[in-house]
Amino acid sequence: MATNRTFTMLKPDAVEAGHIGAILEKINAAGFRIVAMQMTELSINDAKAFYAVHSERPFYGELVDYMSSGPIVAAILEKDNAVEDFRTLIGATNPAEAAEGTIRKLYATSIAANAVHGSDSDENAAIEGSFYFSDRAKF
Ligand code: UDP
Ligand code: MG
């Protein structure tokens, strides 16, 4: 069943470059409501667990190192058709292929350091949201 929630992280490159405000502005302007938000840092083990689905991929080690390299902002977002609409708002994984005006086109620096995470399904949105907001994800 479709839900109206998705989960995002503003990744270390975006936070380090000072893009938190600009990215949240775009998220709000696109009609998403911020349900929960936390600035935090992933340990190596946190990053391994969060991206466990990619553990067999060649970029897994680099991804884990990168995602634990500095502060991130984790948030649960609410909107009709949230998962799909947020994936459209952020653009393709590789910023070189991301559409004009998308968050990754504007702020990502590489396929690894691509500014934002967005859940790829309602099921994963719920799992990923509860990774950080076990108490608040049920709002
Ligand atoms: N990633 C990478 N190299 C790749 C593909 C992905 O470093 O060739 C990183 C990138 O940060 C991406 C994350 O791994 O956002 C998860 O990959 P996925 O295919 O799920 O892309 P997404 O759903 O984030 O667009
Ligand atoms: Mg993904």
Indicate if ligand 1 lies below 6 Å from the C-beta of 120. yes
Top CATH class, 5-132: alpha beta
Among all bound ligands, the one having the nearest atom to the CA of 93 is 1
- Per-residue pLDDT, 135: 59
What residue spans define the domains of the chain? 5-132
- Per-residue pLDDT, 139: 43
> From ligand 2's centre to the CA of 120, what distance in Å?
6
Buried residues in 81-90 as b, exposed as e (16+ CB within 10 A): ebbebbbebb
Among all bound ligands, the one having the nearest atom to the CA of 124 is 2
Nearest CA to ligand 1 atom 25: 93
CA distances from 89 to 27, 77, 84, 97, 103 (A): 8, 13, 9, 13, 6
Question: Mind listing the pLDDT tens digit for each residue in 16-55?
Answer: 999 999 999 999 999 999 999 999 999 999 999 999 999 9
Indicate if ligand 1 lies below 6 Å from the C-beta of 27. no
Residue 40: strand pairing partners: 72
Distance CA 10, CA 37 (A): 11
Closest-CA residue to 98 (of 116, 80, 123, 125): 116
Indicate if ligand 1 lies below 6 Å from the C-beta of 60. no
Indicate if ligand 1 lies below 6 Å from the C-beta of 48. no
Question: Mind listing the pLDDT tens digit for each residue in 82-104?
Answer: 999 999 999 999 999 999 999 99
* Single pTM value for the model: 0.95
